[in-house]
Copies of this chain bind each other. A is one copy, B any other.
Amino acid sequence: MSITIAVPKETANGEKRVAVVPSVLKQFTKLGVEVRIQRGAGESAGFPDELYEGVSWADDQAALYKDADVVLRVEPPSADEAGKLPEKSLLLGFLTPHEGDTRIRNLNKRRVTSFALELVPRITRAQGIDALSSQANIAGYKCALLASHLSPKLFPMLTTAAGTVRPARVVVVGAGVAGLQAIATAKRLGAIVEAYDVRSATREQVESLGGKFIDTGVSAEGEGGYARELTDEEKAQQAEVLARHIAQADAVVTTASIPGRPAPTIIDRATVERMKAGAVIVDMAAETGGNCELTEAGKEITHQGVIIAGPRHIPSMAATHASEMYARNLVNLLGLIIKDGEIHLDWDDQVLADSCLTHDGETRHAPTRERMEGDK
């Protein structure tokens, strides 16, 4: 009997994406697997059921999971849902290994082999599986757009009979995948863009997109493409130089994050109060505590004339394309697991070994296991 892939409707509040989109179905056929989808799973991403051809359907999660071999998700299952996954099945998706220990214990109780997309190594061979990057790309685009949408100014220069409007000044903080796409998008709209990242190696990338790199004199290269945490003194120096640039900005997009940790505070209240009336801050890190001290996750607030947006579920703002890119990431990962229509787990493959969270009743990801054992 062939492998059955199950695709649930996402259950997290505000999540609009879906793990499988119609355009990747032919890849599943090539892999020699069957696809079973929960009715309505793709609807909020712009993929009504009728667009999925050659799949079978389930009315609810229970029917979906019955005898399924692999479950593909976007967001992690709730602890309760994790406890209802098919026994010994495979689970692929974002799994936030740094939190949700009951979920992880339930995965182990069900002897689920789970692969967390957050743990996929950032090596060349795994680029097509790098869902953090594909989703960050979308998020950076959407946050730059949100900033321009909320701004009472135009981003482009406009020369009209009623005089010239000068281009907006945009500051992007954090020049990872999201930050670079925010820079590119603000540039497309005609803004003057300055950008900052603690990793000074990003200067070249910022400049290649037409942005100006803000030099604070502080560098903090870290591992895995992320920044290390800064000392207090470095933070103060960085903050003051940045604050001067931010105070002049018409829009600021912040994208600084440290995986599994609260987001660093980059813009404090005093800096907000130095900004111009009508300036906009879009804080991409709102869900992990925010890069701005005043950010409220899921809200748009105004503080002394400065508009501060802390959007949640940002990739869901472009749910169609975010799902498409995510689905391709999953299919590429699945391609390392399924050979000739059968599941074959090659633990010598670095991608599988690194990204495996749980297997055969055990937490395989060492930092997660150690944290959970420390919590006992």
Contacts and interface: CB of A to CB of B under 8 A. Distances in A.
A319 B320 CA distance: 31
Contacts of A152: 16, 45-46, 317-321
Contact of A318 (B154, B163, B185, B276): B154
Report how many copies the assembly holds: 2
A30 to B, nearest CB: 15
A158 interface: yes
A165 interface: yes
B278 A325 contact: no
Contacts of A321: 152-154, 158, 165
A290 to B, nearest CB: 21
A151 interface: yes
A259 B47 CA distance: 40
A162 B277 contact: no
Interface string A316-334: 0111110011101100100
Interface string A159-177: 0111101000000000000
Interface in A123-167: 127-128, 130-131, 133-134, 137-138, 141, 145-146, 148-149, 151-154, 156, 158, 160-163, 165
Contacts of A156: 141, 185, 188
A349 to B, nearest CB: 18
Interface in A168-220: 185, 188-190
Contacts of A137: 158, 160
A-B pairs, top 6 by smallest CB distance, nearest first, are A46-B278, A127-B161, A152-B320, A134-B162, A162-B325, A149-B149
Given A138-B154, A154-B318, 13 more contacts: A43-B277, A45-B152, A130-B161, A133-B160, A152-B318, A153-B318, A153-B320, A156-B185, A160-B325, A162-B328, A163-B325, A165-B321, A165-B324
Interface of A: 16, 43, 45-48, 127-128, 130-131, 133-134, 137-138, 141, 145-146, 148-149, 151-154, 156, 158, 160-163, 165, 185, 188-190, 276-278, 305, 317-321, 324-326, 328-329, 332
